[in-house]
Structure 1
Amino acid sequence: MSSDNRLDLEFAYTPYADSCRDLYSPHYYCRRPRGHDGVHAAGFGTNRLRWEHLPDHAPHMLS
């Protein structure tokens, strides 16, 4: 799992267009670089979320 400091750097230097954007819910997208290794992550500090991608889990679509 990536450290919070490492994730903060990834988020800071990854443009939105180059971020992974694995859809976790209608509100959170992965902000790590596209094609990254390990868990997906979004958010900062105590609100940070990490999750595994589940291949058989269909994405939640925004309405």
Structure 2
Amino acid sequence: MVYTLTVYDASGEKLLEKTFEASGDKEAKLKGEQWLVEANYQDKTHRCTSSQGKLILFHR
């Protein structure tokens, strides 16, 4: 499945948009969380969605 991780700053500007593949929602959530920590974006507004429109990860 294909997933998209998007990160925004406080003004709403998009800081990151990363599309990636994962075998399922659990793996996608783990990958997304790992990238957020590596880029030091874990405290920024972010979301991860599946290609089917399912919200996998969200932080405001």
Q: TM-score, structure 2 length as denominator?
A: 0.27
Higher relative contact order (CA 8 A, sep 6+): 2
Higher strand share goes to which structure? 2
Q: TM-score, structure 1 length as denominator?
A: 0.26
Rg (Cα) greater in structure: 1
